[in-house]
Amino acid sequence: MPEIESTHFTLETLAEGVVACIHKPGGGAFSNAGIVDLGDRTLIIDAFDTRAAGKDLRRAAETLSGRPIDTLVLTHAHSDHWVGASAFDATTTMLATEPVREACKERGAEMTAEFEDPAEWEAWLHEMEAQFETEGDAQVRAGLETAITRARYTIAEMAEFEPRDADETFRNPVTFQGSTRLAELRSLGRGHSTDDAVLLLPEDGIAFIGDVGFFDRQPYMGDCDVDGYREQLRTFQEADFRVLVPGHGPVGGVEDIALELRYLDVIEELVTGVAQRGGSFEEAMGITLPAPFDRWQMGGRWCFGVNVRTLFARAGGEVPEE
């Protein structure tokens, strides 16, 4: 593989022509992506959180395959997976389900309005920077560091922000038959988000599963149907894919799916216990996750709070306004 360096991600070859692009701390990707060479055309899975990272993704894919990118597929509508799509021109077809396209359009319009006046973002950044200087809690400091980096990238790109809408949509599975391999794009429906798609390479035993997978870290459950999410995870617990590329975290396998399912069970049991005995949301926020999930809270305090909010409301608890 040619030497390709990026500030935003590292490249991990999974098979000849199949590359996972894994977010690099300090960079502007903030999620994972993938490159799949079908032999006669090239697919991209997701496009990162920033235009800068998207540009590097396009350059890497074109360098590796020696051709323009045929298709960019979106796994879901969370912006850290599609803002970088604006780095791809009209020669690349962008494909998503209809619910994902509509959700992206809605969020893109909201972000465009937000970015007209960066003052609020800049004030938020300065507030976080000041807190970071005095914060003594290592978990909080780690989370602040990530949030500060992301805010700096966002502010730097506000003036050129141009959300790109999907060119085409799909509902039923889409098969890409290339000269050297077959790929299948499939929607799993609502679970982690409003609609989650995965790209499967059955002949290679590899699957790009988007945010169905959060490996070695807490999943984000802010837009989650908890039961649907569990079903999405079980799809891969019972399948024959030996290599799974998550939306966040390192490349893994079925053991990571099992651990993610266990996390859902553990945190839901703890939060539900507080709600059922009449405890407050603040009490639920004070629960401590047991090993090995305690280390997942490093830098993930915000995500933990979102998950507690989702599960406390699901258990019938009263959740304060954000």
Strand stretches in the chain, DSSP E: 9-15, 18-23, 33-37, 42-45, 71-73, 93-97, 168-170, 174-177, 182-187, 197-201, 206-214, 243-248
d(C-alpha 19, C-alpha 26), whole Å? 21
pLDDT of residue 1: 60
How is the chain split into domains, by residue range? 9-106+162-252, 116-160, 262-314
Task: Return the structure tokens found at 196.
Answer: 């989650």
pLDDT of residue 322: 75
d(C-alpha 270, C-alpha 94), whole Å? 41
pTM above 0.85, yes or no: yes
pLDDT tens per residue, range 60-117: 999 999 999 999 999 999 999 999 999 999 999 999 999 999 999 999 999 999 999 9
pLDDT tens per residue, range 11-35: 999 999 999 999 999 999 999 999 9
pLDDT of residue 226: 97
What is the mean pLDDT of each successive set of 10 residues along the chain, which is 322 residues long? 85 97 96 97 98 98 96 98 96 98 97 94 95 88 91 95 96 97 98 98 98 96 96 93 97 97 98 97 95 83 91 95 80
Residue 124 Ramachandran class (φ > 0 left, ψ -120 to 50 alpha, else beta) = alpha
CATH number, span 9-106+162-252: 3.60.15.10
pLDDT of residue 299: 63
Question: Which residues 6+ apart lie within 8 Å of 18 measured at CB?
Answer: 34, 35, 36, 37, 201, 204, 206
Task: Residue 254: count other Cβ atoms within 10 Å of its Cβ.
Answer: 16
Q: What is the number of helices (H) and of strands (E) in the chain?
A: 8, 12
The DSSP symbol for 321 reads -
Task: Return the structure tokens found at 136.
Answer: 């003594």
pLDDT of residue 122: 96
The DSSP symbol for 74 reads -
